[in-house]
Structures are given as C-alpha cells and as structure tokens.
Amino acid sequence: MIETHAHIYDEQFDEDRDLMLERAFDTGISQIWMPNCDHETIPKMLALEEQYPGKCLSMMGIHPCYIDENYQKELETMEQWLTKRHFFMIGEIGLDFYWDLTFVPQQEEAFLHQLALAKKYNLPICIHSRNSKDNTQNAIIRCCELIEQFGWEDLRGIFHCFSGNHEEARRVIGLNFLLGIGGVVTFKNGGLDKFLPEIDLNHIVLETDSPYLAPVPHRGKRNEVFYIDLVAHKLAEVKGVSVADVKRITTENALNLIKN
C-alpha cells in the first residue's frame, strides 16, 4: 500500500517515530508521502526522507492554514527549494475556510501561484480543501473553480481527505483528480458510504492524514500510518470488493499519478 498523506514529522511522533514507522512498513506500506506545511516543517520532513530513502517521500508546498500576511515569504522559501532539488509532488496546497476567513484572498493567491509551480515543474498536486464550519463556504468547489480558471489540462493530483458529496466527487474526478480516502470513511456520519459505492476504485487513493483523523475504533486519538489497513478494510466493505483489490488498485493509482 501507499500512504499518500501523513505528517509523520509531527512532534506527536517524537517519542516513538521509528517504531511507528516500523509498524507501518510491517503492515505492507511501501511508501509514505509527506505533505509539507510551511518553512518550519521542511527540515524535519527532509531528515525523515534521508533516514528512509525511497520510503518516505517529501512534497513541497505551503498549507493554506499557514498562509497569512507573510505568505509571500513562505512561497519564496518553497520556490527556492524547488530550484535546489527534485520533489515528486506539490503539497499540501489549497483552501481552508474552517478556522478563519481573514486570509482567504491570500490563500487563493497562494494556491494559484503554486498551481503555476506545478505546471513549471510538471508535478502533481495534493489539495487540502476544508469548508467553513456552517458549510456555507465550500472549499472543494472553490478549488475546482480555481483549477478551471488556471486552465492547464495536464494538471493532476489528489483531493486529500475528501469529505464532499457525490456531486463534488464527480466534479473532482472530472478534473482528473483522485479522491484521497482516509479515516472519515469509518466515521458513522462521515457520509462517504452514501456515494463511494458508485465511484470507481480507479479514482481513489488511501491515506491517514496522521496524526489527525484516526479511524474507528481509534477516533479522537493519535492517528498513525498502519491504521491505513482499517481504512482499506472499511473501503472494501463499503464498495463490496475484496481488501486485496482495494490495496492493489489504490496502489496502482498512486504510482500512476507520480510516474512522469
């Protein structure tokens, strides 16, 4: 399996990170994709990549929750890194309307700027899209609109931690993007079970978003990478297919995304 989204550099793993990763690799995870957040997470992320070559892979990007009035400085830092070495993906980037709407214009600006970098380096992107608490501000739809506005047909990637509805899923797939499915699929009121039976497995990749969003029965506790097995099992149940098929097809999808 490929874990397509985990913040394994997070301090919540400082006590037992190597053991946690051992458990992950023992569960049959061949790669862990690490999304970046801002300039502070870069050194920790790159150190893990060096420690686990070919297994822990670094993205480069600025997370929307880390975009404020200083966002241009953050973008400069990431751009410098992109000129210095190869990254396999831009991420995580996007829009977060959940906590605060103050910097939405800057978030949109930064998102478009990073789409341009994806085009420049011909890289897939990992998208973070979170609606406002009252659901009146829809981040998935807005990301789709900005992608359409940007208008690069070869743009591809993942809507990580996808938690939209059927219509939004279809729109995302129509834009050539994959749905990143994680712990939310195990939540009682997660809503994903309502439409995932109608979504072809070819459009899905697995993730945990560790240390956040732990699947049932660990909900609310620290999430970790090997719980991805629980996600795979639940997805197989929801879709009425074998766990082996879920693992095989989502792994192929992930590998196809990042092969040149």
Contacts to Zn ion by CB under 5 A: 35
- CB nearer Zn ion, residue 151 or residue 220: 220
Minimum CB distance to Zn ion, residue 252 (Å): 23
**Are the C-beta atoms of residues 158 and 180 closer than 8 Å to each other?**
yes
Q: Which CB, 35 or 124, lies closer to Zn ion? A: 35
Tokens encoding 187: 């939540």
Nearer CB in complex with Zn ion: 45/239: 45
Beta carbon nearer to Zn ion, 35 or 164: 35
Phi, psi of 165 (to 5 degrees): -105, -175
Shortest spacing between CB 237 and Zn ion, in angstroms: 25
Across the chain, how many H-helices and E-strands are there?
Answer: 8, 8
* 145 backbone dihedrals φ, ψ, rounded to 5°: -60, -45
* Closest residue to Zn ion in the complex (CB): 35
Percentages helix, strand, coil for the chain (3-state, rounded to 5) are: 45, 15, 40
35 is written with which tokens?
């999304």
The answer to whether the CB of 195 falls within 8 A of the CB of 184 is no
Closest separation between CB of residue 29 and Zn ion, Å? 17
Q: Are strands 125-130 and 90-96 parallel, antiparallel or unpaired?
A: parallel
| Polymer length of the chain | 260
Shortest distance (Å) from residue 7 CB to Zn ion:
6
- Minimum CB distance to Zn ion smaller for 35 or for 190: 35
Tell which residue, 29, 42, 94, 43, has the closest CA to residue 67. 94
Residue 31 to residues 26, 75, 90, 159, Cα–Cα distance (Å): 12, 27, 17, 18
DSSP category for residue 102:
T
Smallest gap from residue 39 Cβ to Zn ion (A): 16
Nearer to Zn ion, 34 or 75 (CB): 34
Q: How far is the CB of 35 from Zn ion (least distance, A)?
A: 5
Quote the DSSP letter at residue 226: G
Tell me whether residue 227 or residue 239 sits nearer to Zn ion (CB atom): 227
For the bound state, the minimum distance from the C-beta of residue 16 to Zn ion, rounded and expressed in Å, comes to 20
DSSP 85: S
